[in-house]
Every structure is written in C-alpha cells, then in structure tokens.
Structure 1
C-alpha cells in the first residue's frame, strides 16, 4: 500500500480465526475480513475524524478446500506437494469501513485470482520451506518474495495475490464516496 502512495497504520485485530466457518472458501475470507475490520473498528476512538478502515484476509482454494497460513514446516511442505504443478484460486476478502461526517458506511467484496504453480521437485520444496517464508503466508507462497519463482502464471489481479486488491479497494471506496487520490500520503 505504501508503494501505491498510501501511509496506512497497521492494527492487528486479534481475531481468533479458529472455528470460523462459511459455505465456500471465498465466503470464509469475506467473513474473516469483516470480523477483523469490525474488531478493530470497535477499539477506535475517532473523535469525529474521517477514517477509512480496511480488513482483509486471504486463503488459497484448491479442490474446494481453503488453505491459510500453514504455521509449521511439515504442513507447508505437504501443502506444496499438493499444489505443485496445479492451479488454485487465491481469494482475498475485503471489508471497508468509512467514518465521515458522523456516519459509518461499509462495503465488502472478495477478489479471486487464479494462480498456477510450478512443478517443484521435493528438493525445491524442502529448500523453500527451510527459508521460513511460506510458513506465515496464505497458501504457503508469495509472489513478491522467494516464492515468486515458483508461480508460473497469474490470471486476474496480481495485487490480490499479495494480500489486497488495489483495484477492488478503489472500487469499494468509490462506492463510499472516497476518492483514491485523497488517500495519497503527502509527498
């Protein structure tokens, strides 16, 4: 977001994601994004200030199953053995809350991007997992880090794969009468 001219304040929501369910992986990311945004919103003391709050959550969907952060090396390696040479969908839920002029408005949407993974060898999987990078990221991969070499194709919004769809966010904000350029940090 900083590269896009914004200067966000990051606040961790503290939402316990265990036990949250939805009918689809996309629906699950939407619900988690909503819960995270609403949890942070409940803690803010805005004193009438105009504020834009964005909650997001991403998961990889493969064979109808949602895969979030693997958390440990064994799960990450197993995940990569499942993903290699295949295409999945990275779903990112977005929940936007705008406080302005004494009112509160919200919009939600899910961005979905198809991601095709290289057919990694077991040695490549072990080497990647050993870096620690895939342990704490949705789907156990990145496109803007060490894992970028293992993603062969992206169909759709590449920003969505990084964790927030800037075009989708701009569209949601436009629905809430917030102009994207108004968010640019002073130069």
Structure 2
C-alpha cells in the first residue's frame, strides 16, 4: 500500500471554544477535508492532538517561553492527551471521526531540564510542548492508555476505522 504525506496548507486549527474531544475531531476532519480536495479517490487520514491539564488546552507552543510554561505546569503532574482522528473514503462518500484519550504522568522535571529541552527546538511543534517519541519521553513517568495516541496518531483507532471502511 502506498502512502502520501500531505499537510494542509490553509486549514487553521482552532484551539478553544469547544470541548476538547469535539475540538480535536473538528480539527482532524477539517484537515482531512482540505487534503481530500487535492487527492480525490483516495482514503484520507486527518489527525489533531492536544494536551489538557487542569481544564486548560495546550496545543503547539507558539514560542520557547510558551513551551517552557507548558512544561513547567506539566512537571510532576497528570495530564490527558486527546487525539482526534478523521478517515474519509472519498470514492464511497464515507467518513469516520472519533478520538482517543491517554493519561500521562510526568516526573518532576527540573528547570534546567526544561530549559535544555526547549533550547533543542523539539517541543515547538508538539502539542503540550513535548514529544514522547523523542527527547521529551524522558519526562514521562507513566501512561495509561495508547502510546501511539500520545505520539499523535492513535493507531488502534485508525485500524478500527480502516477495517470499517473496507468492509
């Protein structure tokens, strides 16, 4: 099976004004629809991930200072990673949209560790300012739920959706 990775060029993610689960589904579907306009006849996958801590939504940090603030809040605490997933089969005019949640516990992270990590540039394009699959993984003490969801693509949900679309 061949894959094309394509990022939406015009879609603007929303980061507030909706419940977190609705927000990630809305963004995932919006991204998939935009890409679907360009690649007709294919199955399109859209995804969006956020971090929720104390009812505050953390998307991608806009600046290093913003990344530092997010990581400082997450240090020593639990948070929830929510990924919305949209799978569209344009030929069959079918779409499936849903989300997955994973609880993550951070270890106590020192100010130096946060500063060094932010200086690496890695957290600037990651929801919640860390990548569990990269250097930010050292901050994670434990997870309850799907690891790939924290990476940003809930593989178990994707498999379920693809099976539904092909049956």
Considering the TM-score relative to the shorter chain, is it more than 0.5?
A: yes
Q: CA deviation at 1:52?
A: 1.3
Q: Show the 5 A alignment for 1:61-100.
A: 61-100=52-91
2:161 & 2:107 partners in 1: Cα distance?
Answer: 33
Q: CA deviation at 1:22?
A: 4.5
SS of alignment partner, residue 166 of structure 2? coil
Which residue number corresponds to residue 117 of structure 2? 128
1:7 & 1:71 partners in 2: Cα distance?
Answer: 33
Distance 1:110 1:45, change over 3 A: closer
Query: Does residue 38 of structure 1 match 2:33?
Result: yes
Q: Deviations over 1:123-146 (max 9, x none)?
A: 111111111111111110111111
Equivalent residues, number? 166
Q: Which runs of 5+ in 1 are unaligned?
A: 1-5, 179-187
Which residue number corresponds to residue 163 of structure 1? 152
Q: Show the 5 A alignment for 1:15-30.
A: 15-18=11-14, 21-30=16-25
What's the TM-score, normalizing by structure 1?
0.83
What's the TM-score, normalizing by structure 2?
0.93
2:24 & 2:40 partners in 1: Cα distance?
Answer: 27
Which has the larger share of helix? 2
Q: Which runs of 5+ in 2 are unaligned?
A: none
| Aligned CA-pair RMSD | 1.5
Q: Deviations over 1:148-170 (max 9, x none)?
A: 11111110000101111111101
Q: Deviations over 1:32-52 (max 9, x none)?
A: 001000111122243xxxx21
Larger Rg: 1
Distance 1:167 1:45, change over 3 A: closer
Q: Deviations over 1:63-94 (max 9, x none)?
A: 11211100211000011111100011100000
